[in-house]
Amino acid sequence: MRGRGAVSNAAGRYERHARVLVDDGWDDGWRDGDDAPPPLRTEVIAEAARTIITRNQSPDISFDRSINPYRGCEHGCIYCYARPTHAWIGMSPGADFESRLFAKPNAAALLAKELSAPGYVPKTIALGTNTDPYQPVEKKLRITRAILEVLRDFKNPVGIVTKSPLVLRDADILGEMAQMGLARVAVSVTTLDRKLARTMEPRAGTPARRLETIKALSSVGIPTHVMFAPVIPALNDDEMESVLAAAKDVGARSAGYVMLRLPLEIKDLFREWLEVNRPDSARHVMSLIRQMRGGKDYDAQWHTRMRGTWPYAQMIARRFHMAVKRLDLNKDLAALRTNLFKPPPRLGDQLALF
């Protein structure tokens, strides 16, 4: 499938029937000389969401609430831990996840309503924790921008994670919020190898564009973080220090990393991808993954699922901390402010006496 990350489109874990794609030789009308099927087109489906802020009680992540403007992600990153969520709606975590997207056009209105609730306690809202809020469809739909406008009006802090240079479109809002201590942006840079990025993250911004994004955000005073995630053994792990150094050179103030996670259907999708794109090293990659996951493809235990265990994972952690110290990253990281939160006045509200 041209321009897509997944090699297959197998049914999700809740489906009663499995589908297998077989070429019987009869449908040759689409062939153009290289035996390639036509490009898979992206379909966007409007979702009438009832709520927009998702809350969690996970003890090993730094936020308790988040917003995802979209389900599915056109970036097509083969390792994306959000892929299994498409099985909840009867679709495949494979090609469906990156080509059949759900958008929430009423997100901003729902957010304003939820922030206005009498019992709401302001905390940082993480934007794009499951799927990228700046994937290609955002350029037209502008749902993420509408959400940021609401957060700015309420002065509620926001943290963004993205791979897309499209975040620069909203630098006006983010810059205004950053001046008040209300915004920061994390840019994910998985590799500096453009060819590997093209294969592994087919519709995300190129590595060079992501570094340019960090530079542009930092230049206007927006605190910018670099995420080296995921760390994939024998595939991109040797680039950790070079990615962090490149990000530091263009203005990143802080850094983080996450080891590759392969829950549910992702383990099969990733293994398929390796067999097609890295056949010579596929067995070695999977062997190292199991070495840091207690002999399994994945271990979902709290506090270790993001970092792994055993010597290989310990080596990665040591390398990361040494690189951060050498580059003088992760110092003086101020928390985003929550004491400025205030619902904006609405039509018909009584004015204050003083």
Q: Which domains does the chain carry?
A: 43-327 (3.80.30)
Return d(Cα 178, Cα 184) in angstroms, integer.
7
Place of tokens 């392969």: 262
Instruction: Please tell me the predicted confidence (pLDDT) of residue 201.
Output: 97
- Residue-by-residue DSSP string for 79-107: T-TTGGGGGGGT--TTHHHHHEEEE-TTH
* β-sheet bridge partners, residue 44: 101
One pLDDT digit (tens) per residue for the chain, 354 residues:
778 999 999 888 888 877 766 667 666 555 555 566 667 899 999 999 999 999 999 999 999 999 999 999 999 999 999 999 999 999 999 999 999 999 999 999 999 999 999 999 999 999 988 999 999 999 999 999 999 999 999 999 999 999 999 999 999 999 999 999 999 999 999 999 999 999 999 999 999 999 999 999 999 999 999 999 999 999 999 999 999 999 999 999 999 999 999 999 999 999 999 999 999 999 999 999 999 999 999 999 999 999 999 999 999 999 999 999 999 999 978 899 999 999 998 765 665 555
